[in-house]
Structure 1
């Protein structure tokens, strides 16, 4: 009788184990669905070598992209110590050395396994454009020194180049519209969608040596040299863009001071654009080294120049408007407001601008004069102009636009697929697996411990 009961219990336990195991297998296989694992993250590094300083930016984006363009975010911003690389004309090697600290920060952020596949690019803007005009050999030495330093980094170095003014303006337009969500945005349904037409904004960039204007015109662009076309997130964009060399903030102040020197009877010059009690001692000869100053120093020029002023806004406006003729710019065609631009009549504009405290009066009034008399804005359109250094928590400039454009030529990676179950199915599978194990262990115990006979 004992043997019969043993067989019965053993058979029941083995049958239950088989049934439970089969049910577990069915739950794992039949109810499994295919899911995409999160895409790997790619990185890119861009140096913005401006006229007054150099900045490094690290960007990242999911490797699978969206309509052949990466959804890029800023991961790091690092300002290089010292002036812009164009200031190292007499010591080109120092231009390359100045980039080392920020480069080390970027290398620490990007995973070491991805160093070799991470693109890095340095774009030089108006400061180097002016140096190239003044002394192309010195500019070439600086680019060579910078390339040597960056080329030794364990990254995919794409080169150090002079960025054209039109490209700077167009890429800055991409940046602003991207961070404002007017190129593409994430919907509440969890999808990337293209915003409605008419939401794009124009971009005004006030740099140290040049200023740019970029926007989507209401009609055809008559001068094709001012047109930029690119494709982002499956949509084609055509913008008007123009860069005005010599109309940046620093060069404006240089030309202003040069005019003061020419009209001054002695080393002390009083000017309404400078704050009361603010003095500065300059080397007058250095004022005439810029290609934006098209006159020669007076023969009796003193060795030093001291500037004093009251910071009177009304007098400063008159002084700036008297200084700049927006139709000729000293007769230089490359920095003239020559009528090829098409003033916007509606829409919002974002302006990237900054000014050190001691020159805030002159700089602010110059920007006002530039907008009203140079670009042709009117008082009724003033509420549509916003001034920012950042938008959406991201630095405004050409570098993000460059990286967005670059992602179009970097191959996307297809996300890995995996079979997975819902939580309920997974929990049921675990329960049946545990019951299968218990039934199997019970059968083993019956077989080994149940007495024979």
Structure 2
């Protein structure tokens, strides 16, 4: 794999499972070299693929009592995927992170530390990924940090960072608010308007990023978390209140208005048959009553020590919904789109429409619902059982807790701007016009807080402009570098060297991957033709170097022990492209004997340079032709006693006349008129065994 790519591995260790994310971006030196004006003023372009993510269950917090098993029983499957995706020669340069969230926050500190320590030990023993500091790479992150990373990811994908004019919401504001909800916690992050930011400066975090040209991008963001207010933790508290109120000694049934009519589950939400005598929650399908019972779970009556507060006595600066359009991910997406809408239904969240769907669904008898979901994915039945409570909790948090206007019913608390008219054209294309919009992906990339962490890391690899030496990262909202500043974790290199040929080998592998994913052979042949034409257009020395790189890619993808196919045809093509004898040279490389030769490196017309494996720079001739090094120890001896196989040129210099099979293939025709005119060639005594060289 080429030098131009940078990689990052991060594992999101949540309460219900651990998800692997792999990201890739251009080396800053390469990206800046080919960048347009807009790209130079943008953040690094980070990409990922579906096969670069993987989730396993249960959560890492379940290993609190037996942390020694977290590696082989939990992490191994994810580590193997990362090792398979990322090229081996890039492992040492690839950072690996595991950041645990709400599930681990609920464990005692001693168990947290044990799981974290075992995780770091496992990574170091089983991978070569970059892990210089366990405390920074493997940690339980605060909810505020998770929210900030999520805010970065959402605004990065929506384009608010790089195109502020296209996302102008009014009042010189161009970023989006971020809402996240998992099983155990909920987060909020947003940039207040200028007036609120001035009044509540001590509540904000200063975030500093860096665009490709080295210029800083600074933002003041409020972020907070509600531990215990994720949907699963809220459900546990809800069930407890039902049992405290309705459970009678000697009885085993309790009515539950948040379950569809006729559905029976136990306290954990598992299905219970009608003949069972275990404690059962019996659905009544009364969604209005469900809403009434979930609202008190917000803790709106808890005193607010630092006004203003939203819910549970949590201080949050005033939110200007005219300019703060919130993007909701995770449970916000699943709860609005799971059983109530298809993934293709990307219409903006509308309170009236959504509540109508929920009431209609939850008032059905469970047998009717169950018959409809059986044909869908296997876990859809579980989702259907939980859908009514989750919808009720989401509505309560959004509108009663955070105060987001019920679009179409409520007016924004601070009217004066028509949001639809003021929002930029770029935001219109994304569809984020209203105070709240649930989302899962933007441009086919998942909105995950892990992406925000990688954006920060990649930005830290960009060398700063002169006079802009402040580091990338975040901390307290003060000038300079605050004591609690958290650095991006990366470093920059102002002398990166990029080989343009790496672009071609990387492109070849990407296209091969893409072709394999297609069901038709026509697309595959189209890709091959494009590659072949581009290959022929390159200079001969570059074609030779590229051939070796692409062949290496193909060999790596061939399973060990599998036979090579098409060798005869390939040798004919390579002879035509590079001259006879090329296939023999390539065979020597494959058999591992190449280290017994010393060849001068070919230099490109653009002056590209690269280091040899032993650290010594090797330069080719300015003509672009690489020549074997002549190992002549005593020229006078040669002149007096010329060996067979050597000759004197017109200047009296000794010239070795090796067999053309031993020469670099591009030298075979250089300076020669025809093969017929060549003298009979004998093996030179100067050529000893290869081990002597």
Same fold (TM over 0.5): yes
2:293 to 309, 316, 319: 319
CA separation in 2, counterparts of 1:142 and 1:202? 33
For the pair 1:115 / 2:115, whether they are aligned, the reply is: no
- Match of 1:80, SS state, is strand
Contact 2:298–2:311, Cα closer than 8 Å, also in 1: no
Other-structure match for 1:384:
435
For the pair 1:247 / 2:251, whether they are aligned, the reply is: no
Unaligned runs of 5+ residues in structure 1 are 1-37, 186-192, 285-302, 421-436, 446-453
Contact 1:244–1:334, Cα closer than 8 Å, also in 2: no
- For residues 248-271 of structure 1, give each alpha carbon's deviation from its aligned partner in whole angstroms, at most 9, with x where no partner exists: 111111111121222222432111
For the pair 1:411 / 2:495, whether they are aligned, the reply is: no
- Match of 1:99, SS state, is helix
- CA-CA distance at 1:245 after TM superposition: 1.2
Other-structure match for 2:464:
none
1:122-141 equivalences under 5 Å are 122-131=98-107, 135-141=108-114
- Match of 1:114, SS state, is helix
- Match of 1:121, SS state, is strand
For the pair 1:40 / 2:4, whether they are aligned, the reply is: yes
Other-structure match for 1:394:
445
Q: How has the CA–CA distance of structure 1 residues 87 and 230 changed in structure 2, closer, same or farther, with 3 Å as cutoff?
A: same
- CA-CA distance at 1:335 after TM superposition: 8.2
- Match of 1:46, SS state, is strand
- CA-CA distance at 1:125 after TM superposition: 0.8
Q: How has the CA–CA distance of structure 1 residues 230 and 115 changed in structure 2, closer, same or farther, with 3 Å as cutoff?
A: same
- Match of 2:320, SS state, is coil
Contact 1:45–1:120, Cα closer than 8 Å, also in 2: yes
- Match of 1:122, SS state, is strand
- Match of 1:252, SS state, is helix
Other-structure match for 1:281:
266
- CA-CA distance at 1:205 after TM superposition: 0.6
- CA-CA distance at 1:330 after TM superposition: 13
Could you say which structure has the higher strand fraction?
1
1:371 to 390, 393, 398: 398
Q: How has the CA–CA distance of structure 1 residues 181 and 57 changed in structure 2, closer, same or farther, with 3 Å as cutoff?
A: same
CA separation in 1, counterparts of 2:673 and 2:54? 66
2:140 to 157, 162, 168: 162
For the pair 1:144 / 2:84, whether they are aligned, the reply is: no
Other-structure match for 1:91:
66
Contact 1:125–1:162, Cα closer than 8 Å, also in 2: yes
CA separation in 1, counterparts of 2:289 and 2:52? 39
CA separation in 2, counterparts of 1:375 and 1:334? 6
Q: How has the CA–CA distance of structure 1 residues 440 and 60 changed in structure 2, closer, same or farther, with 3 Å as cutoff?
A: closer
- CA-CA distance at 1:273 after TM superposition: 0.6
CA separation in 2, counterparts of 1:339 and 1:137? 30
For the pair 1:171 / 2:149, whether they are aligned, the reply is: yes
- CA-CA distance at 1:327 after TM superposition: 4.2
CA separation in 1, counterparts of 2:113 and 2:210? 33
CA separation in 2, counterparts of 1:171 and 1:391? 16
CA separation in 2, counterparts of 1:341 and 1:257? 32
CA separation in 2, counterparts of 1:329 and 1:305? 36
- Match of 1:370, SS state, is helix
CA separation in 1, counterparts of 2:109 and 2:311? 19
- CA-CA distance at 1:171 after TM superposition: 0.6
CA separation in 1, counterparts of 2:310 and 2:162? 35
CA separation in 1, counterparts of 2:227 and 2:296? 19
- For residues 111-164 of structure 1, give each alpha carbon's deviation from its aligned partner in whole angstroms, at most 9, with x where no partner exists: 001111110001011111121xxx222222221222222222221125310111
Q: How has the CA–CA distance of structure 1 residues 440 and 144 changed in structure 2, closer, same or farther, with 3 Å as cutoff?
A: closer
Q: How has the CA–CA distance of structure 1 residues 329 and 393 changed in structure 2, closer, same or farther, with 3 Å as cutoff?
A: farther
2:241 to 232, 253, 259: 259
- Match of 2:260, SS state, is coil
- CA-CA distance at 1:179 after TM superposition: 1.3
CA separation in 2, counterparts of 1:145 and 1:330? 40
CA RMSD of aligned residues (A): 3.3
- CA-CA distance at 1:370 after TM superposition: 0.5
CA separation in 2, counterparts of 1:440 and 1:49? 66
Unaligned runs of 5+ residues in structure 2 are 33-39, 270-276, 336-382, 413-432, 461-489, 501-603, 607-668, 678-693
Contact 2:304–2:313, Cα closer than 8 Å, also in 1: no
Other-structure match for 1:305:
279
CA separation in 2, counterparts of 1:63 and 1:194? 28
Q: How has the CA–CA distance of structure 1 residues 77 and 254 changed in structure 2, closer, same or farther, with 3 Å as cutoff?
A: farther
Other-structure match for 1:210:
185
Other-structure match for 1:328:
302
Moved over 4 A (4+): 65-69, 193-197, 439-442
Which stretch has the larger CA shift, 399-408 or 90-99? 90-99
1:184-223 equivalences under 5 Å are 184=162, 197=168, 198-219=173-194, 220-221=196-197, 222=200
Q: How has the CA–CA distance of structure 1 residues 311 and 391 changed in structure 2, closer, same or farther, with 3 Å as cutoff?
A: farther
- Match of 2:300, SS state, is coil
2:256 to 262, 267, 271: 271
- CA-CA distance at 1:325 after TM superposition: 2.2
CA separation in 1, counterparts of 2:303 and 2:266? 27
Equivalent pairs, count: 363
1:51 to 1, 5, 15: 15
CA separation in 2, counterparts of 1:104 and 1:181? 33
Higher RCO (C-alpha under 8 Å, 6+ residues apart): 1
- CA-CA distance at 1:363 after TM superposition: 0.7
Q: How has the CA–CA distance of structure 1 residues 392 and 337 changed in structure 2, closer, same or farther, with 3 Å as cutoff?
A: farther
- CA-CA distance at 1:42 after TM superposition: 0.8
TM-score relative to the length of structure 1: 0.72
